Amino acid sequence: MTGEPKCPTCQVRVEMSPANAWRPFCSQRCRLIDLGEWLRGVRGIPEQGELPVIHSPEDETRH
């Protein structure tokens, strides 16, 4: 079936039913890997309006 969601960690197709206790992940392992990434700050939700900071060489000469 096309359009099935994929595990955010390993990209394996995931059954989104009560039978899959780890959804949206495929397993407890992938769930724990994702949690570890959140705790280390690898993953996160940007604050509303937060934009990446882009520095140019001109910024260095202005100081």
Domain 1-42 part of CATH 3.40.630.10: no
- Contact (CB, 8 A) for 24 and 14: yes
Residues 6+ apart with CB under 8 A from 6: 12, 13, 14
What are the sequence ranges of the domains in the chain?
A: 1-42
pLDDT tens, per residue, the chain with 63 residues: 457 899 999 999 998 999 999 999 999 999 999 999 999 988 887 777 666 666 766 655 555
Q: What is the pTM of this model?
A: 0.62
The kind and range of the H/E element at 36 are helix 28-40
